[in-house]
Structure 1
Amino acid sequence: MLIKIKPYISKLVVIIIFGITACQPSNDNSKNRPNIIIFFTDDQGYADVGCYGAEGFETPHIDRLASEGIRFTNFYVPATVCTPSRAGLLTGRYPKRYNLHEAVLFPFSEGGLSLNEYTMAELLRDNGYTTSIIGKWHLGHKEEFMPNNQGFDMFYGVPYSNDMDNYYYKEIDFQSPPLPFYRNKTLIESGPDQDYLTKRYTEEAIDQIRNRSEKPFFMYVAQNMPHTPLHASPAFIGKSEKGLYGDVIMELDWSVGEIVKTLKEQKIYDNTIFIFTSDNGPRIGSAKPLRGKKAETWDGGQRVPAIVAWPGKIPKGVVSSDFTTTLDLYPTLAKISGSKIPNDLKLDGLDISDYLLHPETTKLPERPFYFYARNGEMEAVRMGKWKLHIEKSRGWNLEESGVFPVSLYNLDADIGEKNNVVDQFPEVVEELTNTMKEFEAEL
């Protein structure tokens, strides 16, 4: 039956259709817009990956990922511990901008990531992506701050660190509950067997990939391991020469391999950006040859392994020493995905999409990077090869070594931050000191 539409109704339909399409991204073509996976480990050190010099265990799947993309050797996170580092990743902004830069959130904390922040998940969802987080959130366990209210369509995992499971905080007489395990806003388990966390997250990622919609997807796989207490499934116990820690890393490597294998089986690997990195330095792993570890603003606390692969787009087997950070991922993925960043949103990261696609011919600019300690104070700044430290709350023994001296290091020549050249370059010290003061004044 032929249905006639009156002229004024026809015009109305055209206006409505035009209005709807005008709100869509200009290149909203699911066949061309890449899927995005960020595989984020917890407390994995700079040297806790085979291609970064790991000892006592192997990571063949992560190493293969590096051979298929870019491996970064000067990649940093904006904090020394979990909560602020994850906040920086998802906002592209220093956590101090929204008062989430000090320490971490606990099961007794009332706050979380400000709902005024426009997260990477919100950005991508608003521009045609499905979004999911699998694993550890740690940006606020109260319902208002949970993932489903921060841009994620799906959440499968836990709200904070695995060591907070049923933990008693004697200083404030607070007993935390068994570790909550959620699917979206529904509590599905309390105190899960942590031996199987990595395996469960991997299986969930695979299931989501296989049952995806026609839209491109953003998947944030935030593993709990190798944060202590360490846990690995029975299939990986005894696998490494380095005991349980090596077993845990080998299971994480297996997880990367299983996800990549699924992408290939689904014939979408070539159109998926896969990013592997860690939230901060190691507590018990290795950051060699860097100085320091988790919770310290020495490079060992904030320089982490990082690999970005996108077959057919990013050149294979590149090792990059250019300075980059997790803050850069927000503007970079926005550009690559065709997502529009609000004009009034001030980001601290840099769009490095041109560099990823053409690393041999693109040069990234020098820019300052600020190191905030666990106590919330700025302790250091890096600009180019220079890193200036002005104080230390951790990683410096006040009783044995005395007051921490202002220290300057040439990281190109002294990656271990051992040779203080502060007296040789007073002009560099003055310039970097002023840079720190100006940034603090801005904030």
Structure 2
Amino acid sequence: MVVPVTLGVSIADAAPTRDGKPNVIVIFTDDQGYNDLGCFGSPNIKTPNVDRLAAEGRCYTSFYSACSVCSPSRAALLTGCYPKRVGLHQHVLFPQSKTGLHPDEVTIADHLKSAGYATACVGKWHLGHHKETLPTSNGFDSYYGIPYSNDMNHPDNKRKTKMRSDELWKDQSTAVTGWNTPLVQNEEIIELPVDQRTITRRYTDRAIEFITENKDQPFFLYLPHSMPHIPLYVPEDVYDADPQNAYKCVIEHIDAEVGRLVDTVRELGLAEDTVIIYTSDNGPWLQFKNHGGSAFPLRAGKGTTFEGGQRVPCVMWAPGRIPAGTSTNAFATNMDLLPTIAAVTGMPLTSDRQVDGVDLTPTFTSDDSPRKEFVYYSAHGALEGIRMGDWKYMRKVPRALKNKKGTPRKPQIFLFNLAEDLEEQTNLASDDPERVKQMQARMEELDREITQNARPVWRKKADS
């Protein structure tokens, strides 16, 4: 596991690049666990390319996704807001969904485009497949990718294979025979079904084209990979037929593609002018075993508000801005990327709309974070916890409020000191009732503000 170190470099010492407008690349994997990178302690997955980014940049070991499932997490990253503030907190979107990210929201792409950046989204979107909600309506000049999860089918999600994960892996041809998942370019389906065996590589090809075409101007590339979300597929030349190695194989393929992308940045002479952020949308899908990752040493995984569901690996790389070979336990979330990118690019956010993210640039050289608290919402949008400093309080209400006998079920109350108990094994709630009371009150106070000031989600009109 990486260890935080003391740093002696200040932001003021960083050399300015491109008139204060560095390129920005956000690489966002799907369901990759906290322990699924070499630089985050994986004992068996080899990720030399992301590890090199870490060796030349900074690991964030206390970095959170704003939710434990796809759509809310992506909304948070792009808007800098809790998913509930933008109406996308109630689980994930499906091919039959009639809602999506409102085009009036200001995304990272919108913000940077207003400053003259070229913008592209290459990969999984999952914030609405309707024209009004696609990347091209939310600040991106172009889009190429799968509009929702790669286990979802056009047009109504009804065509579903019944083959198990190991069977799918053994027969990679099921990438096109077992699914009816679309590939979209801008606003049109260009391949149905998409060949998922080659999609990670094709995302990288398209990303490299974008970087090369825009090397002489500042650009923002959002690269949300569809994998390692199941079903898992890879190109034939990197395929390992043993299903026990399926997840490992996919992560190592993603890592190799990251290497190709970063090599392009270096070869074009853009390394000193580029910020790269690598992270995951939520924790690993543990129920799929060898097709899912590891959150070790964290508790649980995807779909939960325990640390394994929302604390994710994060590497930030920015030569001349972020000291090489460093690590920090500074408190941070994916909501913080918008204000951080705004600060790095010298483009302050406007004050006409509220965001929940904070500027993380102080954490480039310090373990002291401007973020002091964070509210946890369940995968279905229920208020479920709060972290304040090192303390984490959780109040988990059973989805079935009564048992089979009709007796009301009581909420589960947890209190953890994450500095001493990262694994969330020692419940201190009964030992510190006053802290429980205070944190419950603060959690409810923050949720009230978010609820009262929530903005509308986009909804499809009945006649459209």
Aligned-partner Cα distance in 2 for 1:206–1:155 = 14
1:74 equivalent in structure 2: 62
2:289 equivalent in structure 1: none
Aligned-partner Cα distance in 1 for 2:357–2:34 = 21
Mapping for residues 196-345 of structure 1, pairs under 5 Å: 196-212=198-214, 214-238=216-240, 243-283=245-285, 284-345=292-353
2:120 equivalent in structure 1: 132
SS state of the match for residue 73, structure 2?
helix
Q: CA deviation at 1:235?
A: 2.0
Label 1:285 to 1:338 Cα distance change in 2 as closer, same or farther (>3 A): same
Label 1:67 to 1:127 Cα distance change in 2 as closer, same or farther (>3 A): same
Matched, 1:429 2:419: no
Q: CA deviation at 1:425?
A: 1.6
2:424 equivalent in structure 1: 417
- Given candidates 50, 61, 77, the residue that maps to 2:38 is 50
Q: Which amino acid aligns with 2:430?
A: D
SS state of the match for residue 195, structure 1?
coil
Label 1:408 to 1:54 Cα distance change in 2 as closer, same or farther (>3 A): same
Label 1:34 to 1:374 Cα distance change in 2 as closer, same or farther (>3 A): same
Aligned-partner Cα distance in 2 for 1:338–1:32 = 6
Q: Alignment identity in percent?
A: 42
Label 1:365 to 1:216 Cα distance change in 2 as closer, same or farther (>3 A): closer
Mapping for residues 185-196 of structure 1, pairs under 5 Å: 185-196=187-198
Q: CA deviation at 1:165?
A: 2.9
For each residue in 1:109-146, what CA deviation from the matched residue of structure 2 results, as whole angstroms up to 9, or x when unmatched?
Answer: 01100122111110000111110000001000011111
Q: Which amino acid aligns with 1:201?
A: Y
SS state of the match for residue 197, structure 2?
helix
Is contact 1:240–1:250 with CA below 8 Å preserved after alignment?
no
Q: Which amino acid aligns with 2:376?
A: F
Q: CA deviation at 1:325?
A: 0.6
- Given candidates 150, 153, 158, the residue that maps to 1:168 is 158
Q: Which has the larger radius of gyration?
A: 1
Label 1:311 to 1:159 Cα distance change in 2 as closer, same or farther (>3 A): same
Aligned-partner Cα distance in 2 for 1:411–1:363 = 16
Q: CA deviation at 1:366?
A: 5.1
For each residue in 1:279-307, what CA deviation from the matched residue of structure 2 results, as whole angstroms up to 9, or x when unmatched?
Answer: 00000210000001101111100000000
1:374 equivalent in structure 2: 379
1:111 equivalent in structure 2: 99
Aligned-partner Cα distance in 2 for 1:52–1:328 = 21
Q: Which amino acid aligns with 1:139?
A: L
Is contact 1:56–1:240 with CA below 8 Å preserved after alignment?
no
Aligned-partner Cα distance in 1 for 2:141–2:398 = 39
Is contact 1:56–1:242 with CA below 8 Å preserved after alignment?
no
Aligned-partner Cα distance in 1 for 2:377–2:356 = 14
Aligned-partner Cα distance in 1 for 2:411–2:342 = 41
Is contact 2:71–2:126 with CA below 8 Å preserved after alignment?
yes
TM-score after normalising by structure 2: 0.83
Is contact 2:398–2:410 with CA below 8 Å preserved after alignment?
no
1:390 equivalent in structure 2: 395
SS state of the match for residue 307, structure 1?
strand
For each residue in 1:349-387, what CA deviation from the matched residue of structure 2 results, as whole angstroms up to 9, or x when unmatched?
Answer: 11111322x32xx62245210111112101111011110
For each residue in 1:196-221, what CA deviation from the matched residue of structure 2 results, as whole angstroms up to 9, or x when unmatched?
Answer: 01010011111111121532000000
Aligned-partner Cα distance in 2 for 1:367–1:57 = 33
Aligned-partner Cα distance in 2 for 1:219–1:254 = 18
Q: CA deviation at 1:242?
A: 5.0
Is contact 1:114–1:145 with CA below 8 Å preserved after alignment?
yes
Aligned-partner Cα distance in 2 for 1:159–1:268 = 30
For each residue in 1:123-177, what CA deviation from the matched residue of structure 2 results, as whole angstroms up to 9, or x when unmatched?
Answer: 000111110000001000011111101000010111100000354289xxxxx99
Aligned-partner Cα distance in 2 for 1:213–1:70 = 25
Is contact 1:77–1:85 with CA below 8 Å preserved after alignment?
yes
Label 1:29 to 1:312 Cα distance change in 2 as closer, same or farther (>3 A): closer
Label 1:239 to 1:268 Cα distance change in 2 as closer, same or farther (>3 A): farther
1:178 equivalent in structure 2: 180
SS state of the match for residue 205, structure 1?
helix
Is contact 2:300–2:309 with CA below 8 Å preserved after alignment?
yes
Aligned-partner Cα distance in 2 for 1:185–1:366 = 37
Is contact 2:55–2:325 with CA below 8 Å preserved after alignment?
yes
SS state of the match for residue 163, structure 1?
coil
Q: Which amino acid aligns with 1:279?
A: D
| Cα RMSD, aligned residues only | 2.1
For each residue in 1:234-282, what CA deviation from the matched residue of structure 2 results, as whole angstroms up to 9, or x when unmatched?
Answer: 1221299951110000001011111110001100012110000000000
Q: CA deviation at 1:403?
A: 4.5
Aligned-partner Cα distance in 2 for 1:224–1:389 = 31
Q: CA deviation at 1:31?
A: 5.5
Aligned-partner Cα distance in 2 for 1:318–1:190 = 44
Aligned-partner Cα distance in 2 for 1:196–1:281 = 24
